[in-house]
Amino acid sequence: MATTVQAVGKDIPSSGYYTYPERTEVKNSPSASAPLAFYANAGDRVYYDQVLTQDGYQWLSYKSYSGIRRYANIAKLEVKEVPAPSVPKTQSGTGGKDIPSSGYYTYPERTEVKNSPSASAPLAFYANAGDRVYYDQVLTQDGYQWLSYKSYSSIRRYANIAKLEVKEVPAPKTDDQSAGDSETTFPTLQRYTFDREVAVKNEARAAAKTEFTFTKGEGVNYDKELKADGYKWISYVSYSGIRRYVMLDKLPNSQPSESKLTGQISVENQTNQGFDVRISNVSDSKGILAVKVPIWTDRNDQDDIIWYDGVKQGDGTYKVAVKLSDHKNETGTYNIHLYYVETDGAMKGVAAQQVKVAEPQVTRTGTLSFSNKDNGDFDVIVSTVTDSQGLKAVKVPVWTDRNDQDDIIWYDGIKQADGTYKVTVRVSDHKNETGLYNVHLYYLENDGKLVGITGQQHRSEAKKMDKRVTGTLAIQNQTSDGFDVLITNVSNSNGIVAVKVPVWTSNRDQDDIIWYDANKQADNSYKVTVKLSEHQYETGTYMIHLYYVDNNNQLVGVTGTTYEVPAHENKEQVTVTSTYKGTGNYLITAHNVPSDGDILVAVWSDTHDQDDIIWYEMDRSNLEASLQVNTQNHNGTGTYHAHVYQRLGDKMTALSGYDFQVNKSNYDTPYYNQRDDRWSGLKYGRGYLGPTGCVPTDLAMVISSLKGQEVTPNQVADYLYNNTNEFNKNFDGTSGQGILQAASHWGLVATPLGSLGQVQTALSQGYHVLAAVQNSVFVRNGSHELVLKGYNNGSTHVSDPYTSELSGWYSVSQLWNEQSHDPIDTSGIGAPFIKITDA
């Protein structure tokens, strides 16, 4: 027998996790003489994407966090002689490119990229000559050689890189082509390289579960050949001790045993709501794990298909209950198919049937009647209520003839003991209108459909009554803190349930209105105490109105008055100014403030009526007080208000007010990844943007946030490489000086921060900070640039441009302690923490 020599290493998959069994050298190239990069310790675990043999050793390879490809020597190759099979010739597609099963590939010409490896598949896009991509599969299909990779958006792409030629190539010779089962065990391991994708199972049975697959070009060391279940197999013991079986070729004249199946479908209990499917005469010579019944209507291409599980009955039949509501209440033809799941997991079709579902006969009834009340209110009675489609609710919309339904109210009918439904309509809820009312009746059915039933008009007429309403307002007890409102001569012929006093200032259209409940006094008068603090310490005109709530729960206006609150007199007028400090920050300064007490400022935007108001205590410096306000903590843009007050004990005195304009208050930061396949393969000098582009990617995030327009990592990289010497020219990556130059180019201000306190202050004020770190969870070797923004309880949010999964909240002190000391990051900068803002 002829033999061939093979070098044999460990039997491990072509990619996956590997745990080092001992201290192992890791290098930057697969060569025994290459210098040591570092040691991996016993028990360390790594995810690898390549296995290769070179220089007499077996190596596994992976890309480090910093983009450097590493190689670990895991076994010295053992040279063995193994039988070489004699081969007749057969047809095979050859002539493809000789490239590794995974790695980087540079397109030599403009190449079509598709979403499936088929010549007829539609074009996704073109890869241009010189573009570079990392691929993880090479396959032949449809007469072509394809390389394949997963895009950044997780779509698998296929690029046609060579047309295959049909040539005569050796095919394995077999001494026995019979279909009978057999097994041969070899004393030493043999090597098999696969010419197509094959299934690997844990038993030599065609129906057994596929555990994983080998792809074309991969190989395995095996110790057995066997024929079983109509196929030829090879077998080996895996690295984890499990015996595996690889299914190769189907043996001639082998016929798998066919199932003997019986089953009968019948439809029962058909109603407007659905029907039952009964499966009888159920049998399968290969055994039955489950009975499956897919059902769908003829409409819209199976968009309502449901795979039902048949439920076994006491008589051995199976039953499925079908609700029309689960099939969009469709009528017409329903398709019913029957499948058995056999004990080997195979699913076999058994029978099929159709059933017609007719349109249901729909009946609905309802009658409206009315009952008037003296004050114009009335009840609506809904009787003879029926709906064959099922009734979920009774709806009664009511509105007057005036002003085009501006007072429409949709009432819910309340079911009564006699089966009728009732709605009470109060004219006070309809702007106290009398005259014609429109009353319609709708049913909300079980399927959510709202159906009109009937409609009618009803005239509302209140009996004329002698109404008398009196009340007098007086202002008492005026102080710098507020005043009292006294209500006397209180009467109403319709009775009084409550006395209401709305109070507001004439400034800014009732933004401070409060409806006070007046308290009854011993002499039958009523009193309200108004505190200026509850009206933003406004001075000037206060509007005071009087209302009664009568026995019909109607709100009746009585009278009104005004009161002038004098302005606080200061020796010198307090003035307020603002200065923009970038990233939505404004420095508010109050000039000529009193020397005693605390100085406070209330800040809010015009958006949503003071819902974002925040009170701040200002910092004093002689007769000035100042505070930096971050509008990211408020709502929206446009006009902002800053009102300044003096606080002496419990007393608050308004000093001055100031309005300023805010053009941008949202500085959310978009996320970019330097390994995005839109730009990762772009080369700049010494390297590609993927492994070296953390700074351009960080800057793109910050510039896009501050400018409010999309700026991509490759745009920043283009500027740095073509206009500076700070990116991929004299070193890999970008220097700290490059950050300063790029920020200036986009009209931004970059400021190095020299202490941990300065970093914490910048983050607490909402600024972006770029930080270079080393020897951390983000990078093992070299340094890596991150984007920091936000501050909460000593932590900040980190956006990692290389590993998105690591983005999140981290301790600012920890990041400061892990700062890079590489001169490329620190030269002319100091600590590599740089604040970037738009002013």
For the entire predicted model, the pTM comes to 0.40
Same domain, 832 and 696: yes
Q: Are residues 243 and 335 in the same domain?
A: no
Long-range CB pairs of 109-116 (<8 Å, 24+ gap) are 111/159, 111/160, 111/161, 112/159, 112/160, 113/157, 113/158, 113/159, 114/157, 114/158, 114/159, 114/160, 115/155, 115/156, 115/157, 115/158, 116/158
pLDDT digits (tens, 9 = 90+) for 333-370: 999 999 999 888 888 889 999 999 988 778 899 999 99
Say which CATH number the domain at 806 has. Answer: 3.90.70.10
807 is a domain residue: yes
* H or E, element range at 571: none
Q: Do β-strands 808-811 and 619-621 pair in parallel, antiparallel, or remain unpaired?
A: unpaired
- Whether 32 is in a domain gets the answer yes
Kindly state whether residues 138 and 215 are assigned to the same domain.
no
Domain that holds residue 156: 89-169
> Which of 325-339, 544-558, 600-614, 794-808 tops mean pLDDT?
794-808
| The token pair that represents 146 in the structure block | 């394809």
CATH code assigned at 485: 2.60.40.3760
If asked whether residues 702 and 831 sit together in one domain, one would say yes
Query: 390 lies in a domain?
Result: yes
**Domain check: are 517 and 535 in the same one?**
yes
589 and 719 housed in the same domain: no
Residues 707 and 811 occupy one common structural domain: yes
Q: Which residues contact 575 (CB under 8 A, 6 or more apart)?
A: 590, 591, 592, 656, 658
**pLDDT in the model for residue 165:** 62
pLDDT of residue 188 exceeding 80, the answer is: no
| 819 lies in the same domain as 730 | yes
What pLDDT score does 187 carry? Answer: 56
Q: Is residue 668 part of a domain?
A: no
Whether residue 531 is contained in a domain is answered as yes
> Has residue 447 been placed in a domain?
yes
Interval 570-590 mean pLDDT: 88
Q: What is the CATH number of the domain that holds 79?
A: 2.30.30.40
255 falls within a domain? no
Cα–chain center distance at 566: 55
Spatial separation of the C-alpha atoms in residues 788 and 768, rounded to whole Å? 6
Residue 688 forms part of a structural domain: yes
Q: Same domain, yes or no, for 48 and 108? A: no
pLDDT tens digits along 691-749: 999 999 999 999 999 999 999 999 999 999 999 999 999 999 999 999 999 999 999 99
Mean pLDDT of 449-477: 83
Domain final residue pick, 61, 83, 105: 83
Clarify whether residues 242 and 271 are in a common domain: no
Which of 203, 230, 250 represents a domain boundary (last residue)? 250
CA dihedral 672, 673, 674, 679 (to 10 degrees): -70
pLDDT tier, 253 (very low <50, low <70, confident <90, very high otherwise): low
Tell me: do 815 and 702 sit in the same domain.
yes
Taking only the tens place, the pLDDT of each residue in 37-56 is: 888 888 787 778 888 787 77
Looking at the fold, whether 697 and 820 belong to one and the same domain comes out as yes
In the chain, the number of structural domains is: 8
For the chain, the average pLDDT equals 86
**pLDDT tens-digit map of 210-243:** 888 888 888 888 888 888 888 898 998 876 678 8
Last residue of a domain, one of 250, 273, 301: 250
Structure tokens at 526: 């009523």
Q: What is the pLDDT of residues 286-328, one digit of tens each?
A: 889 999 999 999 888 788 899 999 999 999 999 999 999 899 8
Residues 784-802 have pLDDT tens digits of: 999 999 999 999 999 999 9
Report the percent of the chain where pLDDT is more than 90. Answer: 50
